[in-house]
Amino acid sequence: MTVLHPILAATTESPQQLMLPLLVALPLLGALIVSLVRESTLARTIAFFVSLGVLVFAGLLLTQTVDGSGPGFHVWNAPDALRLGRNPATAFSVSLGADAISLWLVALVAVLTPCAMMATVSSLERAGAFFAWLLVLEAAIIGVFLASDILLFYVFFELTLIPSFFLIGQWGGIERRYAATMFFIFTFVGSVFMLVSILYIVTSAGTFNIGRCVEFVQRSMTDRQQFWVMIGLLLGLGVKTPILPLHTWLPTTYLQAPTPVTALLSGLLAKLGTYGILRLAIPIAVGGSQGCLIAWLIGLSLAAIVYAALIAWVQKDAKLLVAYSSISHLGFCVLALSTLNVMGGQASVLYMINHGISTAAVFLILGMIEVRMGTRSISQVSGLGRGRPKLAFFFVLFVMSSIGLPLTNGFVSEFLSIQSTVSYSLWVTAIAASGVVLGAIYMLHLTAKLIFGPARQPAEVIGTPGDLSGRELLALVPLATLVIVLGVMPNTVLNSIRDPIASIMTRPQPSAGTVIVEAPAVTSAGMN
């Protein structure tokens, strides 16, 4: 079976293709409008409906791809006028492409953003700017997932920094400026390394197309070149993910960011890293020449799973606890990718989606608790379940999803992630599986402290704060539904991403001559 890299192959022109640029443009346009609105409720409403619109478009594209009625992948190229360069093969042109992997992740962005907006407190200062930045962030993240051009990928990847920086630095906690700086410098320095790698690839390959760049690295670079390229990419992508030990920025940043933003940072921004690893770094290793790097990746993932879980367990701050749990979880995600087999790839993408849902949900609900209690300290608050059945229900549900209880979404991805390592080494499997026990330990510790136990609240809190409000339910119910739906029907995701994953995980054919690939050039598809 000769599987083309999906982004390589062009499809015929169709109205759906216009949806790709729309997915990026709509939130940007919305941001422009929202930034002019002063009134907080109105800003939220507009932003919410804009993000709902994005959700509708993403949903339309995704359904067609999943049920097979539409094309397996979509490509859109900017009109000629925007093209730079004379030679079509090397010219830079804005081109977007989406296969099932991209579309699922875009759908994740489209779901989480409105939920995060709904979870934002009403009393926010300068709400217009806040929601505008959220929309910019959404556009940038979607852009990364849709970019089929390595330069565009890089630009969007960097672009996510700006809204995140402002969201953290302006609406964050007490140490927000420090956190924003740290986040910024880490990610930025990381991406400098990535930039060098990308630069090297582009200049050697003479093309911007991601698919062809990857093909070139796989076939025409020596092992040594591949090694350094991959190191550069991993440094950039690894900061974002994060891969141990590049995670230092994460606890402070997650802690200081306003909770809806933390939800998006953990739910979406982290996925930029893993997505990039899947698209750019993994194909280099699939050839089998980078066994040493892969072994390192596996080792670091295992270390992250255990180490971060242990740290999570001793945290006093609920948000820090979940932040470290997120590092531990992403260990599974990278681990599954590093197995370089199809099951691992499928597991990892499913993990990205599921982790996005459940970790974001846990962060959102922690935010709701913080609003009520004015603290996140797990020693100051307890017994929240008393008189608040809805809060308790959603909290326990998301915790169960996070620790991978069967029939919630977390189970399938965690189980498959671990299972995909069996063929690599049983020791790896055993260590990874120990993360399942540790996960239960720290998450149930959190639940026991916050939800169970005698009712207690800080002295400053007046009265008894109530159960979840309608607005808060609006943020959590969609996520809770997805937790169950994806737990019962994971095949919707698994089947649709199987072929794209298989094409990534397939060892490239040894190159015969100089002809790299015979595929319709993506850049020329938009000419007519």
Which residues, numbered 396-455, are part of the site for other proteins (CB under 8 A)? Answer: 396, 400, 405-407, 411-412, 415-416, 418-420, 422-423, 426, 429-430, 433-434, 436-437, 440-441, 444-445, 447-448, 451-455
Q: Toward other proteins, which CB reaches closer, 110 or 327?
A: 327
Q: Toward other proteins, which CB reaches closer, 377 or 419?
A: 419
Q: Toward other proteins, which CB reaches closer, 14 or 464?
A: 464
Shortest Cβ 64–other proteins spacing (Å): 21
SS3 label, residue 10: coil
Amino acid at 152: L
Q: Toward other proteins, which CB reaches closer, 55 or 342?
A: 342
User: Is residue 178 a contact residue for other proteins (CB under 8 A)?
Assistant: no
Q: Which residues pair with 377 in a beta bridge?
A: 317
Q: Toward other proteins, which CB reaches closer, 13 or 467?
A: 467
Shortest Cβ 383–other proteins spacing (Å): 5
Q: Which two tokens stand for residue 40?
A: 């907080």
Applying the rule CB under 8 A, the residues between 224 and 243 that interact with other proteins are none
User: Is residue 499 a contact residue for other proteins (CB under 8 A)?
Assistant: yes
Q: Toward other proteins, which CB reaches closer, 126 or 498?
A: 498
**Residues 269, 240 contacting (CB under 8 angstroms):** yes
Size of the chain, expressed as the number of residues it contains? 528
Shortest Cβ 95–other proteins spacing (Å): 15
Applying the rule CB under 8 A, the residues between 190 and 219 that interact with other proteins are 195, 198-199, 202-203, 206, 208
Shortest Cβ 454–other proteins spacing (Å): 4
Give φ, ψ of 123 to 5 degrees. -85, 20
**Residues 19, 54 contacting (CB under 8 angstroms):** no
SS3 label, residue 390: helix
- Helices within 420-458 (DSSP H only): 426-450
Shortest Cβ 299–other proteins spacing (Å): 16
Q: Toward other proteins, which CB reaches closer, 68 or 389?
A: 389
**Residues 243, 303 contacting (CB under 8 angstroms):** no
**Residues 55, 23 contacting (CB under 8 angstroms):** no
User: Is residue 64 a contact residue for other proteins (CB under 8 A)?
Assistant: no
Shortest Cβ 14–other proteins spacing (Å): 27
Shortest Cβ 62–other proteins spacing (Å): 19
Q: Toward other proteins, which CB reaches closer, 145 or 193?
A: 193
Q: Toward other proteins, which CB reaches closer, 10 or 150?
A: 150
Applying the rule CB under 8 A, the residues between 355 and 384 that interact with other proteins are 383
Applying the rule CB under 8 A, the residues between 89 and 128 that interact with other proteins are 90, 92
Query: Can you give 300-334 as a three-state secondary structure string?
Result: HHHHHHHHHHHHHHCCCEHHHHHHHHHHHHHHHHH
Q: Toward other proteins, which CB reaches closer, 65 or 409?
A: 409
Give φ, ψ of 382 to 5 degrees. -160, 170
Task: Please provide the DSSP assignment of 102-163 as one string.
Answer: HHHHHHHHHHHHHHHHHHS-TT-TTHHHHHHHHHHHHHHHHHHHHB-BHHHHHHHHHHTHHH
User: Is residue 490 a contact residue for other proteins (CB under 8 A)?
Assistant: yes
Buried residues in 227-252 as b, exposed as e (16+ CB within 10 A): bebbbbbbbbbbbbbbbbebbebbbb
Shortest Cβ 368–other proteins spacing (Å): 19
Q: Which of 85, 291, 458, 466 binds other proteins (CB under 8 A)?
A: 85
Task: Please provide the DSSP assignment of 49-76 as one string.
Answer: HHHHHHHHHHHHHHHHHHHTSS-S-EEE
Shortest Cβ 273–other proteins spacing (Å): 17
- Strands 74-77 and 95-98: what pairing? antiparallel
For residue 242, cis peptide bond before it (omega within 30 degrees of 0): yes
User: Is residue 288 a contact residue for other proteins (CB under 8 A)?
Assistant: no
Which residues, 6 or more positions from 260, have their beta carbon under 8 angstroms from its beta carbon?
116, 117, 119, 120, 134, 364, 367
Shortest Cβ 509–other proteins spacing (Å): 14
Shortest Cβ 357–other proteins spacing (Å): 18
- Binding part of the chain for other proteins, among 37-45, 94-102, 177-185, 351-359 by CB under 8 A, reads 177-185
Distance CA 450, CA 448 (A): 6
User: Is residue 505 a contact residue for other proteins (CB under 8 A)?
Assistant: yes
User: Is residue 469 a contact residue for other proteins (CB under 8 A)?
Assistant: no
Residues in contact with other proteins, shown as a per-residue x/- string from 20 to 59 under the rule CB under 8 A: ----------------------------------------
Distance CA 241, CA 338 (A): 14
Residues in contact with other proteins, shown as a per-residue x/- string from 332 to 351 under the rule CB under 8 A: --------xxxxx-xx----
Applying the rule CB under 8 A, the residues between 247 and 276 that interact with other proteins are 248, 251
